[in-house]
Structure 1
Amino acid sequence: MSMVEAASSRSGTKAAREPDRQRGIDRVIAVLEALQRHHAPMRAGEIARSIGAPRSTCYEIVNRLLEAEILEPAGAEGQVYFGRASYLFGRAYAENNALHRRVGGVLESLAAQTGAMAQFCALRGNKYLVLESRSGSGLFRITVDVGVEVPLPWTASGRLLLSHLDAQEIRDFIPPEDFVLPTGEQLSVDQFLAEVEAAAREGYSVTRNLVDIFATCLAVPILRQDGSVAGTLCLVVPAELVAEQRRELLDLLIPAARQLSAH
Structure 2
Amino acid sequence: MFMSEVADDRADDSTEERGLPKSMVDRTLLILGTFQNRQRRQTLSEISRSTGLPIATCYRIVQRLTEWGALEKGEDGRYYIGLRLWEVAALAPQPSRLQRVARSFMQDLFEATGHATHLAIRDGLELVSVERFHGGRRPVPRPIVGGRYPMHATAIGHVLLAYAPFKVREEVLKGPFERFTSRSLTTRADIEGVIERVRHVGYAICDRHVDELHCSVAAPIYGQSGAVVAALSVAFTDRDVNPLTQVDLVRVTARRISLLLKSTGRPQDPFSTR
Normalising by structure 1, we get a TM-score of 0.78
Instruction: Tell me the SS of whatever aligns to 2:262.
Output: coil
Alignment deviations for residues 213-248 of structure 1 (CA, whole Å, 9 cap, x no partner): 332211111223333322111100234422652344
Change (3 A) 1:219 1:184: closer
Count residues with an aligned counterpart.
242
Equivalent in the alignment of 1:24: 24
Structure of greater relative contact order (alpha carbons < 8 Å, 6+ residues apart): 2
Change (3 A) 1:38 1:170: same
Counterparts of 1:140 and 1:249 in 2: how far apart (Å)?
Answer: 20
Counterparts of 1:248 and 1:130 in 2: how far apart (Å)?
Answer: 22
Once the two structures are TM-superposed, the CA of residue 253 in structure 1 deviates from its matched residue by 3.0
Equivalent in the alignment of 1:89: 88
Equivalent in the alignment of 1:159: 158
Going by fraction, where is helix more abundant, 1 or 2? 1
Is contact 2:205–2:217 with CA below 8 Å preserved after alignment? Answer: yes
Normalising by structure 2, we get a TM-score of 0.75
Once the two structures are TM-superposed, the CA of residue 95 in structure 1 deviates from its matched residue by 10
Counterparts of 2:219 and 2:108 in 1: how far apart (Å)?
Answer: 16
Counterparts of 1:108 and 1:248 in 2: how far apart (Å)?
Answer: 16
Unaligned runs of 5+ in 1: 1-19
Equivalent in the alignment of 2:227: 228
**Which of residues 138, 141, 152 is equivalent to 1:143?**
141
- Listed as ranges, the matches of 1:50-199 within 5 Å are 50-76=50-76, 78-93=77-92, 97-136=96-135, 139=137, 141-146=139-144, 147-162=146-161, 163-166=163-166, 170-174=169-173, 176-183=175-182, 187-199=186-198
Once the two structures are TM-superposed, the CA of residue 189 in structure 1 deviates from its matched residue by 1.5
Equivalent in the alignment of 1:211: 210
Counterparts of 2:96 and 2:157 in 1: how far apart (Å)?
Answer: 23
Is contact 1:207–1:216 with CA below 8 Å preserved after alignment? Answer: yes
In our comparison, the structure showing a higher alpha carbon Rg is: 1
Once the two structures are TM-superposed, the CA of residue 33 in structure 1 deviates from its matched residue by 1.9
Equivalent in the alignment of 2:270: none
Is contact 2:204–2:217 with CA below 8 Å preserved after alignment? Answer: yes
Instruction: Tell me the SS of whatever aligns to 1:34.
Output: coil
CA RMSD, 1 decimal: 3.0
Change (3 A) 1:222 1:60: same
Unaligned runs of 5+ in 2: 1-19, 264-274
